[in-house]
Amino acid sequence: MYRTINLFIVLVVVAAMSFALYYLEGVLHLEPCPLCIVDRVIFVAIAAVCLVALLHNAQGAARLVYTVLAALLSLLGIGVSARHIWLQGLPPDQVPECGPDLMYMLEVFPLDAVIKRVFTGSGSCAEVDWTFLGLTIPEQTLMLFIFLFLLVFIAHRAR
């Protein structure tokens, strides 16, 4: 069951990333903001940890290491999504100014400055471009990170 749940986590992340890349970007032509890109990196990291856990089928301390890593990444994702939701809820006069895109910042600024700028957010992070069932993309992302967080602990307790 442990391996099955880890496989399910990997498949959920693959489905979510496919949806973002093919539908949101390919069909709707939405450009991801810096916080959306950070969310994607965290999703891929969670999938990578769960894939290694699936292949290793660890027991004992090793299983705990995989659980802690995936749980910490999920919590990081929850934090990034919550910050994104907060930025979208700001009144228009308090929204940070739009800055350069993430690729430009990575080429020009040192990594610590890029991280600071990304988490400060920009005007592009405050825009609501698309909703589904009344939920914005960051709200849906938050729900997915919470779901993955719970699945990680279910997998840890599985036989």
The pair phi, psi for residue 132, each rounded to 5°, is -140, 125
Structural domain range at position 17: 2-157
Nearest CA to 149 among 89, 84, 85, 82? 82
> Whole-angstrom Cα distance, residue 12 to residue 118?
26
CATH of the domain at 144: 1.20.1550.10
* Total count of domains within the chain: 1
Instruction: Give me the mean pLDDT over the 66-92 stretch.
Output: 91
Identify the weakest region by mean pLDDT among 34-38, 67-71, 123-127, 148-152.
123-127
Cα angle for residues 96, 118, 153 (degrees, 5° grid) = 120
Helix (H, G, I), strand (E, B) or coil at 101: coil
When the pLDDT of each residue in the chain is averaged and rounded to a whole number, the result is 87
| pLDDT, tens digit, 9 for 90 and up, residues 106-151 | 787 787 877 776 665 555 677 788 889 999 999 999 999 999 999 9
Any alpha helices (H) in the chain, and if so which ranges? 2-18, 34-56, 61-88, 102-108, 111-120, 123-126, 137-157
The pLDDT of residue 23 is above 70: yes
Q: How far apart are CA 10 and CA 31, in angstroms?
A: 24
pLDDT at 78: 97
* pTM of the full structure: 0.82
Strand partners, 32: none
